[in-house]
Amino acid sequence: MAFALVALPLLAAEEASVRVFVLKWKRVEEAALLIRPHLSETASVTLAQRPNAMTVIDREENLKTIAKILAEFDTPPRGFTFAVKLVRARADVAAGSLSQEIGGIGAKLKSMFQFNDYALIDSAVISGTEGKPVSYRLGDEYVLTFSIGGMGAGDELMLSPIALSRLKKIEQGRTVAVPLYRASLPVALNQTLVLGASRDEASPRRLQR
C-alpha cells in the first residue's frame, strides 16, 4: 500500500532529483515526520508501507541532508535496564528512620512529600527494548507498565506512557487493575526519577512527580 504524504508541484526538471530510502528498523511514517522540516516547499514524498520505503523528489542538497538524518534515525532498537524501587509512604505513624534498602532516594522523598515513614515494598531490575512494552509485577498487588521511546540520538528517553496500577479483587474472585499513576515522561539516562501516587484512587493529589 502506498500513499502520498505531500502532493505539491514538482521542482523544475533541472532542479529535481529522486531518491528512494528503504528503512530497516524504524517505521517510514515516523521518518516522514522527521524529515518534513528539511523539505523544500515544492518537494514530493510518497510512502510505501511495503517495503517500508519512501520516495523523495527534491533538490539534491536537501536529499543529502535527508539521507544523513535517516541514517542516524534508522538504527536497531536499543536495550535499557531500569532499577525500580516501590516505596510505601505513611503519614499516620510516628516518624521513623529511612530503611537502608531505600538508599539514596530517601532525601529526595523527604523533600518532595510530607510523610513520616517510608518502607520498601519491592525492588527490581527491569530490562526493556526501545519500542516495545514492558510489564512487571511489584510486590503482591502492584503492576508497573511502560513503553520505551527514543528522543533522537541524545541521552533522553520517553516513557510513554508509564503507569502504576494496583491489583484489586472484586466479586467472584476476579482481579482488576486500578490505575494509580499514568503519564508520559522524559527521563535521562542514569537519572533518578521519583513519582508519587496515592493509594486512595479518589484523592485529588493521587498523582505527583
How do the domains of the chain map onto residue ranges? 2-73, 79-199
Higher pLDDT among residues 187 and 62, named by residue: 62
Q: How many C-beta atoms lie closer than 10 Å to residue 146's C-beta?
A: 25
Share above pLDDT 70 across residues of the chain, in percent, rounded to a whole number: 77
pLDDT tier at 208, thresholds 50, 70, 90:
very low
pLDDT tier at 199, thresholds 50, 70, 90:
low
Higher pLDDT among residues 84 and 95, named by residue: 84
Question: What was the pLDDT predicted at 3?
Answer: 46
d(CA 43, CA 17): 10
- Quick one: cell of 21? 530510502
Q: Across the strands, what pairs with 165?
A: 143, 179
| CATH of segment(s) 2-73 | 3.30.1370.120
pLDDT tens-digit series, residues 23-70: 998 889 989 999 999 999 889 999 998 899 999 999 999 999 999 999
d(CA 178, CA 171): 15
Higher pLDDT among residues 58 and 106, named by residue: 58
d(CA 117, CA 90): 5
Q: How far is CA 77 from the centre of its chain?
A: 13
**Contact 56/21 with Cβ under 8 angstroms?**
yes
Q: What is the average pLDDT score of the chain?
A: 80
**Strand 117-129 to 79-90 pairing:** antiparallel
Least Cα distance to 143 among 182, 174, 111 occurs for: 182
Q: Which residues of 21-34 are buried (b: 16+ CB within 10 A; e: fewer)?
A: bebeebebeebbeb
Give backbone dihedrals phi and psi of 157, rounded to 5 degrees, phi first.
Answer: -115, 160
pLDDT tier at 97, thresholds 50, 70, 90:
low
Q: Which of 41-45, 47-51, 74-78, 195-199 has the lowest mean pLDDT?
A: 195-199
d(CA 141, CA 3): 46
Strands (E), the chain: 2-6, 16-22, 44-48, 53-59, 79-90, 117-129, 133-138, 142-150, 156-169, 175-188, 196-197, 207-208
**Contact 50/89 with Cβ under 8 angstroms?**
no
Mean pLDDT of 161-190: 88
The angle formed by the CA atoms of residues 178, 179 and 182, to the nearest 5 degrees, is 170
| Highest mean pLDDT out of 109-113, 160-164, 205-209 | 160-164
